[in-house]
Amino acid sequence: MEKIKNRIFALFFAIIIFLWIIWNPIWDEVTTHFVSSTGYPLSIFWISTSDVNFLNFFNIFLFIIVLGLLYEFYKPSLNFEWDKNKGWKAAGIFLIAIVVVVVISIMFLEIDEPAQNILGSRTFEYPLGSGQIHEWPNLLWEFLSVFCMETVSLSLLFGILFMTKSAPQKSKSYKMMLISVVLFELFVFVAFYLKFFITGKGESIYSGYAKMELLQQYWFHWDFWSELVILVGAIWLLIKGKEFS
C-alpha cells in the first residue's frame, strides 16, 4: 500500500487522541470531582453546571486534530524525511524528552501516587456518588490517563512532525492539524493559564493552588512548556512554512 507509513502514523495518533477525548470527562470526574449535569457522553462536547452551559472547546479542538489525522490517513501528504534545521530538531527533541519524562515518572514509577503500582489494580467510583465501584488494571488506567493525555500525545505527535520536512503549504492534513492545535493551545492559555495568573483562581487540575504553589509543581512545568513550544512552533509553520531546495 502506498504511503503505509503515513497511514499507520495518522491512525495511531488519531486513536490515542480520540481515546483521551472520550476518557478525559470520566477522568476529570474521578480525579477532580467535577461533574457536568449533561452526563456522559454528552459531557464530551457540552458541559453544563448550575451556573453556566458551554461547549467543551478543549475536546472540540482536539477532535479537529483527529479529523486532520484521519484526512492524512485518507490522503497521505506528510513528508517524513528528517529536517536538518537545528531549531526544529531542538523543538522536537524537547517535546519528545517531555514525553519520556512524563511516561517514565508518572506512568511507570508512579511518583505522583506512590501507593499505586503499574502492575497492580485500581478501584474508583463512577459515576461519582453512584456507589458503583470499578476495578481496573492500573496499566489500562495509566495508558488512558497519561499516554493518551494531551501533554504526552500532542508532544509526541508534534515533536516528531517538527523534526520532519512536513510543511503545511504542501500538506492539507498538516495545515488542518496546525490550525486546530493553535486554537486548542490558545484556548488552554486563555482559559487556564492566563485566567489563573490574573485572578489567582485555577480551573480543573489547577484549582486549589496559590500562584507560587502552582509554580512549584513539576507537572505544571511540563504542561506549560510543552504547550508553549507547540503553540509557537505551530504558529511559525502556519506563517512561514518550510522551504527546501
The DSSP symbol for 81 reads S
- pLDDT > 70 fraction of the chain, expressed in percent and rounded: 97
Q: What is the pLDDT of residues 151-189, one digit of tens each?
A: 999 999 999 999 999 999 999 999 999 999 999 999 999
**Which of these, 25, 88, 43, lies nearest to 242 by C-alpha position?**
88
Q: What is the pLDDT of residues 217-244, one digit of tens each?
A: 888 899 999 999 999 999 999 999 998 7
Residues 229 and 95: beta-carbon distance below 8 Å: yes
Residues 138 and 118: beta-carbon distance below 8 Å: yes
